[in-house]
Amino acid sequence: MKAVLEFNYPDDEEKLLYAVKGPQMYRALANIKLAITNDFKHKADLEDALGRVREITNQILTELDAV
């Protein structure tokens, strides 16, 4: 199977980014979910959980930008 994606740059720059970085973004989301599941399985403090989610998200998205 062969697929060809066409974008009108710069109008479709956001769509192009999603197409090019899609696999890395998917892995980032999967890593965020895994980290949250591991870290908060037994914790009830929502404020701490949300802060940690923010940290994890920022860290993984920063790593994605470096790719």
CA atoms of 53 and 38, how far apart (whole Å): 12
Domain locations in the chain?
17-66
Q: Would you give the end-to-end CA distance of the chain in angstroms?
A: 27
Model pTM? 0.53
pLDDT (tens digit per residue) in 11-55: 998 889 888 888 888 888 888 778 777 766 665 666 677 788 888
